[in-house]
Amino acid sequence: LAKTTQPISMDSYEGQEVNITCSHNNIATNDYITWYQQFPSQGPRFIIQGYKTKVTNEVASLFIPADRKSSTLSLPRVSLSDTAVYYCLVGRTPNTGGFKTIFGAGTRLFVKA
């Protein structure tokens, strides 16, 4: 299972774009990259998942370079409510035989007014 490395914390201001990069040097061919968000006293919540290039949904974009050894979660125009811990996970999806996840320490994002 690929280990991930993320910055421990980041600060930002409301309205700014935030980019959080995750390193996963030993990612396997079948691995997907998934990002979760966690607020205090809640379980992690899925944000976005990708395999290569770029994925965009209504809340974020995920950029994955060709070598897939890293990925960047991009949050456009953050608000105070985006203050949370963000986890980058690497693993297989259920439809390829199982998904055992390893949560790293995550990145604590603090959005200031």
Partner 1 sequence: EAGVTQFPSHSVIEKGQTVTLRCDPISGHDNLYWYRRVMGKEIKFLLHFVKESKQDESGMPNNRFLAERTGGTYSTLKVQPAELEDSGVYFCASSQDGRGTGELFFGEGSRLTVL
In the complex, which residues of this chain contact partner 1 (CB under 8 A)?
Answer: 32, 34, 36, 41-46, 49, 87, 91-95, 98-106
Please name the helix (run of DSSP H) or strand (run of DSSP E) that holds residue 35, with its range, or none: strand 32-38
Closest distance of CB 102 from partner 1, Å: 7
Cβ closest to partner 1, residue 45 vs residue 112: 45
Instruction: List Cβ neighbours of 82 (8 Å cut-off, separation of 6 or more).
Output: 18, 75, 109, 111
**In this structure, are residues 3 and 26 in contact, taking their beta carbons and an 8 Å threshold?**
yes
Of 60 and 106, CB closest to partner 1 = 106
Nearer to partner 1, 41 or 81 (CB): 41
Q: Which is nearer to partner 1, 38 or 72 (CB)?
A: 38
Q: How far is the CB of 40 from partner 1 (least distance, A)?
A: 11
Q: What is the DSSP letter of 5?
A: B
Cβ-in-10-Å burial (0-12, 13-18, 19+) of 111 comes to buried
Least distance to partner 1 from the beta carbon of 104, Å? 6
Smallest gap from residue 89 Cβ to partner 1 (A): 9
Q: How many CA atoms lie within 13 A of 53 on its CB side?
A: 2
